[in-house]
Structures are given as structure tokens and as C-alpha cells.
């Protein structure tokens, strides 16, 4: 198998016996659903240079969403040798183009998924690892209501495309997977495409995490995490790998991530409340959507650098939209490294898109998110560190305390192409918008600020809907980024005079 974005591939050929002169292979394409000259180019003849050689071919990266395609090549003639019996080889081209995953309207139930349903009960908990390992493509594991106590052998490694894991009832609270704060593997290890995990709860998440992508031999695509409740984490809940294999085109939607007070106290007592506890950590990931989720409580009393949603290591084409963040130290941070890390992911167009300096994230959209801090120590609500073409639009950041940094911050001189449009940062005191270390940034006319009491229905209770006298009402700029002036966090359509922030005023 060769990925479409590799550009080239090779088919191995072996010469048995001694050669008495030059050997040249003549080949033809004999079949398959990939199209010659459109999907691939194979030369008609190839010189044979050593006892073990190869036929080089080009792969055309066409931008079309096609799925896997294949073609077969046959050796039809050899100059200087005789064709053996194994003279045909089939090559599979793995498509690198994506159809974006679509969020159901208003977090509606997903409905039936999977080709074959396999019923699972709490009595099966000791055998979950083996049960999922035996899956066929498209199998749906349907969990009956109850508590599933997991141990070291229960990591569910998903190796087949199209596998679904979900509750029978469609309610996340009905199925609880208790990870037991294990120091071993994750709950789910996703190593296949088109995997869906939905409608269940995972608690006592160990340092191995709830969902990881750990296969070093193969990138995975189209993972959907939907209506899942994640509580009591001891490490990163969801984490994508930094390479050499990657996790692309994923979606986290309509889910809850909670670090509650009791669990935080236990982590601090054990010295485990550290920066390694994140809700979503995207490393070198492409084309993810984080939409319609609720994140709460990711902070420590020692004010360590807990980041709720983190994207770094050349993550690109990320959309973070209509999420609610309550009492988190840093709710969203896009980018981290100022200088190029070793072996960072590359795409081939970074210089043309962003210039010669290294940037840590490319093409991020943060839209219509609500960030509220009442009791937690707040560093910043939303941070862009060394990003290229990052759009931050219609977000609300509100805090009843003074943030350590600011409501929204933009850092590093290598950052470029940012648009901060129609945001509302409302702090009791402190800096609303901050530029750090030479970051080039100009605010559009549509961004607003001011004390919480002048904007919100009930800031003490966390109700960040706008009141009629707020300067954010009709205070947005409809022309600065018109494609981002759509609906608010609750789905209310914006009018010709959009409001600043996540919420559109409704009389």
C-alpha cells in the first residue's frame, strides 16, 4: 500500500541466478479501479540494476475524495532474463483526501450504526480487549446499561475499519467504563479508519488516556467521538500521535470533559495535577473538528499549565466551534513551539502558505466558543502561539477574577495571518487582548471588552447571554470575515449587524 501523498512508490523485483548483461523489464497495467495517468504513472520499461531491484512509479495527488483504489502491474517481457511465475503485483493507493465529518443538528442521536451488532454486557468486562480484537470491519459493539470495571488487559485495540462502540440506550450516563486510574494502556487504542465511539461514559481515566492512536505503522482517519462523558482524568484524555503515523479527519462532538473538585484534590495530594492532564491534545493532526462540547475544571491550585484543548506540532485545518469552557486554566491554546522541533510533520506547502519561519499550527478556526471563569485561576481563555492563518471570531471570554495573562493572547513574531474578529472579552480586571514577544496583530473594529456586569444576564451564575444595554449588541463587524458571521453558540442566526461574542442578543 502507498499513500497518495507519498508522490512515488516502488514494486520490488528479484533476479534469481547470475546476470550476463543488462536486464530490462517491460511492464503493463493489467487491471484495478485506479486510472493510469490520472491516479498513477508506471513506466513501460525499467532497468534492472541489482539482484534485488524495483519498479518505480508515480502517484498523482489529485485532491479528489476517492477512497482506496488499486491497480495491477504485470511483467510481460524481460531483456536478458526469463519471466518467472510470480509476474503480477497489485498496488493499493490510500486516499489522503477527506470528506469533512458532519455534526448532526443540535447533537441529535446518531441512530443505528454498523453492519453487524454484537451485544455486550457488564459481565463481559474482563474480556473486552479480546472481544474487540476479534471484530470484523463494520461491527457495532452495543453495550447494555451498567458499570464495566476495566483492568490492564482491557485496552480495546480497534484494528478494523468501520467499527462502532456505543451504548444500547443512546444515553452516555447509562454505560460507565471505569478505567481504574490504570498506569498502563488507554481505554481505546484506535488503529483503523471510520471508527465511532459514542453514547457512553469513561471515568477514572489513567495516564494512558481514554482514546489514543498508538500504531506506529499506519495513519488513521475519520474517528468520531460523540456524546461521550470523560471524567476523573489522570492524563491526557484524547491524544493524537506526533508521528511518524498520524490521526487525521477526526471529530469530537457533543461530549463532556470534567475534572471535578474531589478528583482534583486527590490529584494534588498525589502530586499528579500537572500540565500532562489535558482534555484534547492534538499533535501533528490534520482536519479535526471539536464542536459542541463542554469542558470544565481543568485547573490546579498551584496554577500549573493545564491546557484544556491544545494543538501543536504543525497541526492544521482545525475547527473549534460552539464549545463551552467553565473554570479552566487555559481553555484553548493553538500552537506552542516557537522553533522547529525535531521530526515535526511537514505538508510541503508551509513555506508557500506561511513563509520560511516555522509555525506550529496552520489554518485554525476558533468560532463561537464561550469561556467562563468564576473560581479557577485563569491564565488565558484563548491563546495563539506561533500560528499561521488562525481565525478567532465571535468568542466570549468572561472572568470574575484577574487573569494571569489576558483574556485572549497572541504570541511570537513568527505568527502571521491572524484575524481576531467580533470577540468579547469581559474581565473584572486585567488585560483583555494581549500581544506577546512581537506578535503582529491588529484588532478589527468588531472586538469588544468591558466589565461583566455591563454585558451579561447573570455573570455570577455564568449566564453569558447579552443584555440589551451591552455595547456588544450590534457591535460586531459584518465585513471583516463575513464567512464567519453565521450562527451563535446556540444556533441563533446572526443579522446584518452581528453582536460581538458567542451569543447573539435575543430580546
The grid coordinates of residue 101 equal: 465529518
Residues (pLDDT < 70) of the chain are 1, 3-7, 15, 17-23, 25, 45-53, 62-67, 80-87, 94-106, 215-216, 303
pLDDT score for 105: 60
Strand order in the sheet with 280-283: 156-158, 188-190, 211-212, 238-239, 280-283, 307-312, 330-334, 380-385, 406-411, 433-436
For 282-341, the pLDDT digits (tens) are 999 999 999 999 999 999 887 677 899 999 999 999 999 999 999 999 999 999 989 999
For 136-176, the pLDDT digits (tens) are 999 999 999 999 999 877 899 999 999 999 999 999 999 99
The domain segmentation of the chain, as residue ranges, is: 2-94, 105-484
Pairing of β 23-31 and β 69-79: antiparallel
Burial class (CB in 10 A: 0-12, 13-18, 19+), 217: exposed
pLDDT score for 376: 78
d(CA 271, CA 234): 11
pLDDT score for 47: 67
Q: Is 301 left (phi over 0), alpha (psi -120 to 50) or beta?
A: alpha
pLDDT score for 17: 65
CATH value of 2-94 in 3.30.300.10, 3.20.20.70, 3.90.45.10, 2.60.40.2030:
2.60.40.2030
Q: Provide the whole-model pTM.
A: 0.84
d(CA 362, CA 314): 7
CATH number belonging to domain 105-484: 2.160.20
pLDDT score for 224: 96
pLDDT score for 304: 72
The grid coordinates of residue 130 equal: 479480546
Amino acid at each position: 500500500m502507498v499513500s497518495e501523498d507519498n508522490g512515488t512508490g516502488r514494486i520490488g523485483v528479484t533476479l534469481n541466478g547470475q546476470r550476463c548483461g543488462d536486464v530490462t523489464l517491460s511492464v503493463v497495467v493489467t487491471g484495478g479501479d485506479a486510472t493510469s495517468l490520472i491516479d498513477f504513472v508506471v513506466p513501460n520499461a525499467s532497468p534492472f540494476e541489482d539482484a534485488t531491484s524495483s519498479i518505480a512509479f508515480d502517484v498523482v495527488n489529485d485532491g479528489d475524495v476517492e477512497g482506496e483504489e488499486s491497480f495491477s502491474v504485470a511483467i510481460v517481457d524481460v531483456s536478458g532474463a526469463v519471466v518467472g511465475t510470480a509476474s503480477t503485483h497489485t498496488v493499493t493507493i490510500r486516499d489522503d483526501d477527506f470528506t469533512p465529518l458532519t455534526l448532526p443538528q443540535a447533537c441529535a442521536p446518531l441512530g443505528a450504526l454498523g453492519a453487524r451488532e454484537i451485544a455486550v454486557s457488564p459481565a463481559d468486562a474482563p474480556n473486552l480487549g479480546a472481544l474487540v480484537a476479534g471484530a470484523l470491519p463494520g461491527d457495532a459493539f452495543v453495550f447494555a446499561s451498567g458499570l464495566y470495571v476495566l483492568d490492564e488487559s482491557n485496552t480495546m485495540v480497534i484494528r478494523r475499519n468501520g467499527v462502532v462502540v456505543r451504548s444500547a440506550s443512546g444515553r452516555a450516563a447509562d454505560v460507565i467504563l471505569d478505567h481504574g486510574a490504570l498506569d498502563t494502556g488507554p481505554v481505546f487504542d484506535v488503529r483503523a479508519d471510520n471508527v465511532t465511539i459514542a453514547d457512553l461514559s469513561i471515568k477514572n481515566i489513567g495516564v494512558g488516556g481514554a482514546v489514543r492512536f498508538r500504531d506506529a505503522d499506519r495513519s488513521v482517519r475519520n474517528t468520531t467521538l460523540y456524546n461521550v462523558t470523560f471524567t476523573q482524568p489522570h492524563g491526557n484524555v484524547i491524544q493524537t500521535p506526533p508521528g511518524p503515523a498520524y490521526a487525521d479527519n477526526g471529530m469530537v462532538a457533543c461530549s463532556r470533559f470534567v475534572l471535578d473538585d474531589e478528583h482534583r484534590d486527590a490529584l494534588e495530594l498525589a502530586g499528579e495535577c500537572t500540565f500532562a492532564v489535558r482534555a484534547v491534545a492534538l499533535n501533528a493532526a490534520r482536519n479535526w473538528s471539536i464542536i459542541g462540547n463542554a469542558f470544565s475544571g481543568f485547573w490546579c491550585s498551584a496554577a500549573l499549565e493545564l491546557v484544556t484543548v491544545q494543538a501543536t506540532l504543525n497541526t492544521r485545518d482545525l475547527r473549534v466551534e460552539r464549545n463551552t469552557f467553565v473554570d479552566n486554566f487555559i481553555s484553548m491554546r493553538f500552537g506552542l513551539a516557537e522553533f522547529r522541533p525535531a521530526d515535526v510533520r511537514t505538508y510541503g506547502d508551509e513555506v508557500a502558505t506561511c513563509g520560511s519561519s516555522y509555525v506550529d499550527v496552520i489554518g485554525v478556526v476558533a468560532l463561537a466558543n464561550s469561556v467562563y471563569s468564576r473560581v479557577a485561576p485563569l491564565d488565558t481563555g484563548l491563546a495563539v502561539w506561533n500560528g499561521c492563518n488562525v481565525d478567532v471570531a465571535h468568542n466570549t471570554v468572561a472572568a470574575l477574577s484577574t487573569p494571569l495573562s489576558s483574556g485572549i493572547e497572541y504570541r511570537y513574531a513568527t505568527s502571521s495571518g491572524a484575524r481576531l474578529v467580533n470577540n468579547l472579552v469581559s474581565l473584572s480586571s486585567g488585560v483583555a487582548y494581549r500581544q506577546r514577544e512581537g506578535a503582529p496583530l491588529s484588532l478589527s473594529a468588531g472586538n469588544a471588552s468591558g466589565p461583566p456586569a455591563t454585558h451579561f444576564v447573570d455573570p455570577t451564575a455564568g449566564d453569558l447571554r447579552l443584555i440589551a444595554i451591552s455595547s456588544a449588541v450590534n457591535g460586531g463587524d459584518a465585513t471583516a470575515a463575513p464567512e464567519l458571521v453565521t450562527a451563535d453558540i446556540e444556533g441563533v442566526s446572526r443579522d446584518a449587524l452581528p453582536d460581538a461574542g458567542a451569543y447573539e442578543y435575543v430580546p
